[in-house]
Amino acid sequence: MQATTTRNLIILTGSALFVFIACSKNSGIVSPTPTPNPTPVDPVAAVLNLPATPFNYSNIGLPGYLNSPNIIGQINTPVSNPITDNGATLGRVLFYDKKLSLNNTISCASCHKQASGFSDPLTKSTGFNGGLTGRNSMSLIDAKYYPNGRFFWDQRAATLEDQVLMPIQDLVEMGMTLPALEAKLKTLAYYPPLFQKAFGDTVITSGRISAALSQFVRSIVSFQSKYDAGRNTFPAVPAPPPNAAFPNFTPQENRGKEVFLVPTLGGCAACHGSEIFTAPQEKNNGLDLTTTDRGFGAVVNNPSLDATFKVSTLRNVELTAPYMHDGRFTTLEQVVEHYSSGVRNHPNLSPQLRLPNGLPRQANLSPADKAALVAFLKTLTDNTIATEVKYSDPFK
């Protein structure tokens, strides 16, 4: 009797369990799957193509002749703002970011294009609201080698640190104020991490924006042109004589180099004398007989400096047309012709372009030498500057 009762109880229990399982399956009720933790979004990687290890901006391996005392003496980098890899990386992002303009349409790179030698192929650049700049955009290549440290054609900026903030605030170019700029960048999630890496914390100030932009601009140094390949076949010092043939040059290019360097031929080295191919201060190069643009003279209120302008490097000059502060020349041939036959006797004409009798110096080059000089100038083209990723737009 007891065994029968126990057996019936087991059968009933099993049946009940079967019914329960069946009902559970039929009810559609399932145990919830645990929700995985979301993968954190990297705010920098979300919008920027930046390498995990920053590019080398601070310790570029320059050839010996660009580390000579006379070249080092031209450097305008202040002790307070040395180039760092993370600082220049931040500067690169700022340089290409259109959000630095009032309506998010213009960046520094809009007027200083990498493919154009960091200048603008337009005679005048277009600002955020469609207005035009007063002058042609000067190349930024080798900006660190202008020894008096002044910037813009008229040298109104005393330092590069001053210069980089001025287009941002210009009512034609980018239209921002510095407080508005700081507030705007604080709302962009990719900037605090970049400022952290560059400066050690996430504080965003216009001073730090200036420092980073200046670091990036000063890092743009040209040293891989055909000229450099030829120059590297000679000792760093002393410089080879003007008639020394570079083995990688054509006969025409070597003749053009000689024309450029010899005072009684082209005499170009009188102003573009170092291997940075720039001049250390403002010049009047005889574009006009009378003053049409006061240039540096207006900045310092000195008529004896009227119509004088900064002299930029000739490196990558093939890519930086149009030429002169007003973009009046569209080809290198026109530039060479100016110095051969078109120098005007402006009262402030620079001494390098004036003969002992007071008349302007015309090089009076033959057609062959004019062509040779243009050919030489094209050997200064450094295509790595025009294409290298570390100087390019980092935005996705």
CATH 1.10.760.10 fits 226-383, yes or no: yes
Angle, in degrees to the nearest 10, between helices 178-186 and 191-199: 110
What pLDDT digit, counting tens, does each position of 233-252 carry? 999 999 999 999 999 999 99
Three-class secondary structure of residue 145 per DSSP: helix
d(Cα 224, Cα 237) in Å, to the nearest integer? Answer: 19
What pLDDT digit, counting tens, does each position of 341-385 carry? 999 999 999 999 999 999 999 999 999 999 999 999 999 999 999
Preceding omega of 322 cis (within 30 degrees of 0): yes
User: Regarding predicted confidence, which is higher, 18 or 196?
Assistant: 196
Q: Out of 23-32, 38-47, 86-95, 267-276, which region has the weakest mean confidence (pLDDT)? A: 23-32
DSSP state of 76: -
Q: List, in order, residues 6 or more apart from 165 with CB less than 8 Å away.
A: 178, 206, 209, 210, 213
- Cβ 252 vs Cβ 371: under 8 Å: yes
What pLDDT digit, counting tens, does each position of 92-113 carry? 999 999 999 999 999 999 999 9
Same fold, 64-221 and 226-383: yes
Q: Is residue 305's pLDDT more than 50? A: yes
d(Cα 261, Cα 241) in Å, to the nearest integer? Answer: 9
Tokens of 12: 């009933």
d(Cα 167, Cα 140) in Å, to the nearest integer? Answer: 14
d(Cα 356, Cα 349) in Å, to the nearest integer? Answer: 13
Domains of the chain by residue range: 64-221, 226-383
What does the angle CA 207 – CA 212 – CA 213 come to, to the nearest 5 degrees? 100
What pLDDT digit, counting tens, does each position of 120-176 carry? 999 999 999 999 999 999 999 999 999 999 999 999 999 999 999 999 999 999 999
Q: Which residues, listed in sequence order, are joined to residue 113 by a DSSP beta bridge?
A: 119
Among 108, 109, 91, which residue's Cα sits nearest to residue 50?
Answer: 91
CATH code of 64-221, in short, is 1.10.760.10
What pLDDT digit, counting tens, does each position of 256-298 carry? 999 999 999 999 999 998 899 998 899 999 999 999 999 999 9
pTM of the model: 0.89
